[in-house]
Structure 1
Amino acid sequence: MEKYQLLDEVGAGGFGRVWKAVNKHSSEVVAVKMLREKFHSWEECLSLEEVKSLRILRHPNILSLKEVIRERDDSLFFVFEFMESDLLQVMRSRAEPFSDSEVRYWCFQVFQGLHYMHGKGYFHRDLKPENLLVSGGLIKIGDMGSAKEINSNQLLTDCVTTRWYRAPEVVLGLENYSFKVDMWAMGAIMAELFMFKPLFPGRNLFDQMLKICSVLGSPTPESWLGGLALAGGLNYQFPQLPGVNLSSMMPSASWNAIGLIKSLCSWDPNKRPSASEALTHPFFHTCYNIIPPSLCVRARVNNTTTREEFEQIRSCNRNRI
């Protein structure tokens, strides 16, 4: 770590701490993640899912791991590219929720990153606004510490995903859930961008399921037969609630946006779209590229993007899906 100068602590959690740092030789600003756990060999380090996944995943919308450093005292550091903020901080800096075009602007990029990630055989498992990192007009999926291989035969824990973004099959303790949990989380995140408050803010697991039922309506044999069987095996009964009209909860959202959120938050994971299917949804039909960061100065400073600006930015790059 001698070549890095730590500047400011920018985050902390059960895993350890994250620092803003600068490379003393190149003057490049980076983020250094210092893990709390000690690692006694390189084999231990390289077996970490975060390391294994990020050695494979290289995409403009996935945070890049630059270097892994193990010190003599068995401390482990990950050096990442530095991002200015995260999506939660962006929301907190604004006075009003995002517009339809702004939600499209952010989510199109995230779905591109997920399409690539899932195609490479990994799923994230802990998508939330804090793990979507922002610099200028670019957004990247960060914190791959909970990532798993899609085709792994391992039984999966139900305590990994942050509760408010946890898919119902995970809430019920299913141990062989799929990458579709990422799609559920994105539906909850999309809704939050329109509402500026969580869609399913449960206080505990029982309250989490209550919140989901109160919004979506209780599952039926038509909407999630497998879930009813799973709940029956646990002697759990879903609260019987009719659900609400999502348009009334997010009046600024278009019908296409509401339709995509409903699809992503389907009870049955098999009915949720994949990331590639989400990218072809009518909500994204005007998107042909990721917005170039250089044209997003006004969006970054004033936290607003007009439709005219969005269309100007969209037309500058013709890299299609």
Structure 2
Amino acid sequence: MGNTEWAWTGHASLEADTAGYKVHRMLGDGTYGSVLRAQNKQTGELVAIKKMKKKYYSWDECMALREVRSLRKLTHPHIVKLREVIREADELHLVRLYMYQTIMALDFMHKHGYFHRDLKPENLLVTRDLLKLADFGLAREIRSRPPFTDYVSTRWYRAPEVLLRNPSYNSPVDLWAAGGIMAELYTGRPLFPGSSESDEIYKICTVIGTPTSEVGVVRLLALYSGAEQTWSRQRRTEGVNFMLAVLAWDPSRRLTARQCLSHPFFADHTAALQRQIATAIASMPSTTPLL
């Protein structure tokens, strides 16, 4: 590859190009990582990228690796040159990014007097880092007088009060659905895939316990420990605590969308999330108003 330089990234994936580089093909695959032939999108320069198979959840973890430390110190014509270290977004960050935007959309809706009633993954449209809530065919005004239709939302994301035919349900049904979606983002499978309304209630009880039970924390922690062993306990617990706060049997005990935005799962990352969203919005093509 001639005067090829070396870029290093802390995540192994061939599904998308690494930031700033166009991946051409794999050159080799080893125990700890894959080596890719790539090209700098701006300069056209060819590089070799080593993509690590292990995930690293902090910049410090990436920079502390012996391979990175040694290559940063060794400069010689016959030793590969380390050009840069790239840390790609991990799954936990993407879950946080998408859920933050979902909750912001719900907060705006609820503040303006509407609730969605059909929140599900198919109604969340994602382009790069930007998420938009769609399909308002079942939306109702919060101040509308009940009874409301009892057959709303896809069963797997339907709140208990709807399953139990409470005609006075309201905006908390959207937060229940958001909790189910977040769980699905983590694991890649629905949290409550009931085959009927009664089976749906059974599956809810299986995961978070009965309305008077307090075993939900234990069960959800066990579920997500199996999903990703490399999360730190603190990060895993923050996510689980958030889900439990919106997956409460009693709708009056669920966090509101506004309260969700202040939850520790989001609160310590708000500035970074808002910057990333602003960048995504700025990069989107402009649209022409219908009127």
User: Shorter-chain TM-score: which interval?
Assistant: 0.5 to 0.7
> Structure 1 residue 296: deviation in Å?
8.9
**1:162 and 2:131 are equivalent in the alignment:** no
1:106 to 72, 87, 98: 98
Q: Residue type of the partner of 2:255?
A: P
Q: Matched residue of 1:245: which SS?
A: helix
Q: TM-score, normalised by structure 2?
A: 0.59
How far 1:154 moved relative to its partner? 3.4
Figure out how many residues of one structure are paired with residues of the other and give that number. 182
Per-residue deviation at 1:273? 0.4
1:248 to 216, 222, 231: 222
Is 1:265 the counterpart of 2:250 in the alignment?
no
- Pick aligned residue for 1:287 from 270, 286, 289: 270
Moved over 4 A (4+): 241-244, 294-297
Q: What is the Cα deviation at residue 295 of structure 1?
A: 9.1
Give the Å deviation of 1:100.
Answer: 1.6
Deviation at 1:291, TM superposition (A): 5.1
In the aligned structure 1, how far is the partner of 2:280 from the partner of 2:206?
Answer: 39
Distance (whole Å) between structure 2 residues aligned to residue 242 and residue 110 of structure 1: 23
2-structure distance, mates of 1:250, 1:175? 33
The residue type equivalent to 1:260 in the other structure is F
Matching residue of 1:277: 259
TM-superposed CA distance for 1:268, in Å, is: 0.6
Matched, 1:127 2:127: no
Is the CA contact 1:136–1:294 (under 8 Å) kept in the aligned structure 2? no
Q: What are the equivalent positions in structure 2 for 1:192-271 lying under 5 Å apart?
A: 192-220=184-212, 245-251=219-225, 252=228, 254-271=236-253
Q: Secondary structure at the match of 1:117?
A: helix
User: What is the CA distance between 1:250 and its match in structure 2?
Assistant: 1.7
Tell me by how many angstroms 1:249 deviates: 1.4
**Matched AA of 2:270:** C
Indicate the residue corresponding to 2:137 in structure 1: 145
- 1:39-54 alignment, distance < 5 Å: none
Q: Displacement, 1:245?
A: 1.6
Corresponding letter in the other structure for 1:292 = T
Question: Separation in 2 of the partners of 1:146 and 1:281?
Answer: 28
Does the residue aligned with 1:134 lie in a helix, a strand or coil?
strand
Sort the Cα spacing of 1:261 and 1:242 in 2 relative to 1 into closer, same or farther, 3 A: closer
Q: Which amino acid aligns with 1:246?
A: L
- The CA RMSD over aligned residues, in Å, is 2.2
**Partner letter of residue 153 of structure 1?**
R
Using the aligned pairs only, state the percent identity.
Answer: 43
- The CA deviation at 1:292 is 2.2
Name the CA distance, whole Å, in 2 between partners of 1:106 and 1:283.
12
The 3 A distance-change label for structure 1 pair 291 and 194 is farther
Question: What is the aligned partner in structure 2 of residue 115 from structure 1?
Answer: 107
Give the structure 1 partner of residue 44 of structure 2. Answer: none
1:269-299 Cα distance to aligned partner (Å, 9 max, x none): 01100101000000002122135227999xx
- The structure number with the bigger radius of gyration is 2
Whether the aligned pair in 1 keeps the contact of 2:107 and 2:258 (CA below 8 Å) is yes
**What is the CA-CA distance between 1:106 and the residue it aligns to?**
0.5
Deviations 1:212-234 (A, max 9, x none): 000011112x88xxxxxxxxxxx
TM-score by length of 1: 0.53
- Listed one character per residue, the Cα deviations across residues 132-171 of structure 1 (whole Å, up to 9, x for unaligned) are 0111211011000000000101311121111000000100
What 5-or-longer segments of structure 1 have no aligned partner? 1-97, 224-240, 298-321
Say whether the 8 Å CA contact 1:110–1:139 is kept in structure 2.
yes
Amino acid of the structure 1 residue aligned with 2:132: K
Counterparts in 2 of 1:4-23, with a 5 A limit? none
In the alignment, which of 179, 182, 186 is matched to residue 178 of structure 2? 186
Aligned partners of 1:136 and 1:296 also within 8 Å: no
* Amino acid aligned to 2:280: P
